Amino acid sequence: MSKRIRIALICSLLLLIAAHSALVAQQPVRPTGVKPAPANTARTAEVLAAANEILEEVSVLRSLKTLNPVKSGVKSRSEIEEEVIRNFEELSKPEELDVIGKTMIAYGLVPKDFKYRELMIRLLTEQVAGFYRPKSKELFIADWIELNQQRLVMAHELTHALQDQHFNLRRFEDWPRGDSDREAAIHALIEGDATGTMYNYQLKPMKTDITRLPNISIFADQTLMQAEKDGQKVFLSAPSAIRESLIFPYVYGVSFVQELVKKKGWDGVSRAFSDLPQSTEQILHFDKYASSEQPIKVRLTDFASFLGSGWKRLDTDINGEFGYFLILREFLETGEARKAAAGWGGDQSTLYENTRTGQLLLAHLSVWDSATDADEFFQAYARRTLKRYPQSRARKDLPANERNFQTPDGGTLIQLRDKSVLIIEGLPAEMDERSTKLSDSLWKQF
Ligand SMILES: [Zn+2]
């Protein structure tokens, strides 16, 4: 569900600065707003000289040698916006974006007329503070940000340049479809590394570093407060699942890196680029990465032919712990959602569309660490469904491990078996009779 938000290296000033201002709360407050500063040659020369200096510093802090100089350019807002849009379009095909939008609609995370691509472009252009493009090995620095902020952004972006020189970031750009949970985890490693290094750059004059701070993810709430202060209109008006997905790689990524540095030093972070995190679960719970707890592979058979003519499978993907957290949290309390999503073992989620009517149907099968974890998720999903559709009718004649709701978007079937939970939602009314036959055959083939 973190859903291939391929902004990989277009780093958001808001997100960087929000956590940063929480980090240095005891220090004299520096201005965090984005201030227009006219570009001029002297200023550009000053910024480029700073970039060289910062690259050397960051290289030492991150224990990665500079293998090549980094091409840097100071750009105006409109130049950067153009680059950001071009980069976004290069990395994401319109039909893929369309499917992501439809999945979010089907899970009830966004309104039905939601346009994913449009929102992402508005978000990225609002948020951008600079970016590093692996394809051309180039750093773009925003000319409208004051120098102190630029230095922080450069420390972050130049870490990406060093990552690219040592670990080749281009291999992550066209990640195979079907496992955006793993993609989100890798994204969190990349951003967490760059953000952690940026913090160390910031903390160095205070003679401290991230290993001596409390878990940085506790600053997640700061991001919203900062967004309000900065008047980040697009970000504030974005659906909360999208906001959380944008924050995820920075906040949870940096706390993951913080743990990694504490236990294995920065070389441990470098090794993580070959021993990649496999799931958002491993990012959220460092011990699951340390103990190499692998996600369980789950496969749902394609049942388009069962649904009849007009139905087509559009996508298969993995929600992961973080995805399920977002899906539950949309309608339940945060603590309840967090608890129910924990204990995730693996899942597969598939989206179907009736190409004639536009109706969407979801089927997702998840496996949990224990029968208790599975039951907790099963109960939470049933409560979520009732909250999402307060007007729905629940069938009463069912065993305790089964729920069936008639909702305005179709039938929702939730079944618990041992450590697994199967959910089908959006079943057309005329299929109601056959829904058990469908779920039986999916269980059989699982
Ligand atoms: Zn970044």
Question: How many angstroms is it from 407 CA to the middle of ligand 1?
Answer: 41
Question: How many angstroms is it from 104 CA to the middle of ligand 1?
Answer: 25
Q: Is 338 exposed, middle or buried (0-12, 13-18, 19+ CB in 10 A)?
A: middle
Question: How many angstroms is it from 131 CA to the middle of ligand 1?
Answer: 7
Question: How many angstroms is it from 186 CA to the middle of ligand 1?
Answer: 12
Distances (CA, A) of 405 to 20, 351, 352, 389, 391: 45, 19, 19, 9, 10
Question: How many angstroms is it from 90 CA to the middle of ligand 1?
Answer: 18
Q: Return d(Cα 102, Cα 98) in angstroms, integer.
A: 6
Question: How many angstroms is it from 354 CA to the middle of ligand 1?
Answer: 39
Question: How many angstroms is it from 192 CA to the middle of ligand 1?
Answer: 8
Q: What is the pLDDT along the chain (446 residues), one digit of tens a residue?
A: 444 444 444 555 555 554 444 444 433 333 333 344 455 677 788 888 899 999 999 999 999 999 999 998 888 888 888 888 888 888 788 888 899 999 999 999 999 999 998 998 888 888 777 788 888 888 888 888 888 888 988 999 999 999 999 999 988 887 778 999 999 999 999 999 999 999 999 899 999 999 998 887 766 667 667 777 777 788 889 999 998 888 889 889 999 999 999 999 999 999 999 999 999 999 999 999 999 999 999 999 999 999 999 999 999 999 999 999 999 999 999 999 999 999 999 999 999 999 999 999 999 999 999 999 999 999 999 999 999 999 999 999 999 999 999 999 999 999 999 999 999 999 998 888 888 899 999 999 88
pLDDT for 230: 73
Beta strands in 279-419 (DSSP E): 311-317, 344-354, 360-368, 393-394, 402-407, 410-417
Question: How many angstroms is it from 84 CA to the middle of ligand 1?
Answer: 13
Question: How many angstroms is it from 427 CA to the middle of ligand 1?
Answer: 41
> Does residue 308 contact residue 373 with C-beta atoms inside 8 Å?
no
Q: Which residue matches tokens 């910031």?
A: 202
Question: How many angstroms is it from 161 CA to the middle of ligand 1?
Answer: 10
Beta bridge partners of 367: 346, 420
Instruction: Report DSSP state, residue 38.
Output: -
Question: How many angstroms is it from 33 CA to the middle of ligand 1?
Answer: 19
Question: How many angstroms is it from 176 CA to the middle of ligand 1?
Answer: 21
Question: How many angstroms is it from 387 CA to the middle of ligand 1?
Answer: 36
Q: Tokens for 365, please give them.
A: 């099968």
pTM of the model: 0.91
Q: Is 445 exposed, middle or buried (0-12, 13-18, 19+ CB in 10 A)?
A: exposed
CA-based nearest residue to 314, from 357, 364, 354, 366: 354
Question: How many angstroms is it from 12 CA to the middle of ligand 1?
Answer: 7
Question: How many angstroms is it from 132 CA to the middle of ligand 1?
Answer: 8
Question: How many angstroms is it from 125 CA to the middle of ligand 1?
Answer: 15
Question: How many angstroms is it from 245 CA to the middle of ligand 1?
Answer: 14
Ramachandran bin of 130, using left for φ above 0, alpha for ψ from -120 to 50, beta for the remaining angles:
left
pLDDT for 377: 98
Q: Is 148 exposed, middle or buried (0-12, 13-18, 19+ CB in 10 A)?
A: exposed
Question: How many angstroms is it from 10 CA to the middle of ligand 1?
Answer: 6
Ramachandran bin of 274, using left for φ above 0, alpha for ψ from -120 to 50, beta for the remaining angles:
alpha
Please list, in sequence order, all residues whose beta carbon lies within 8 angstroms of the beta carbon of residue 152, skipping any fewer than 6 positions away: 16, 17, 20, 198, 201, 202
Question: How many angstroms is it from 327 CA to the middle of ligand 1?
Answer: 26
Question: How many angstroms is it from 187 CA to the middle of ligand 1?
Answer: 9
Instruction: Report DSSP state, residue 92.
Output: S
CA-based nearest residue to 187, from 118, 252, 134: 252
pLDDT for 123: 85
Question: How many angstroms is it from 100 CA to the middle of ligand 1?
Answer: 22
* Domains of the chain, each with CATH number or no CATH: 10-290 (no CATH), 304-445 (3.40.1000.70)
CA-based nearest residue to 374, from 414, 408, 406: 414
Question: How many angstroms is it from 152 CA to the middle of ligand 1?
Answer: 11
> Does residue 443 contact residue 363 with C-beta atoms inside 8 Å?
no
Tens of pLDDT, residue by residue over 74-133, are 888 888 888 888 888 887 888 888 999 999 999 999 999 999 989 988 888 887 777 888
CA angle 336–222–247, rounded 5-degree value: 70
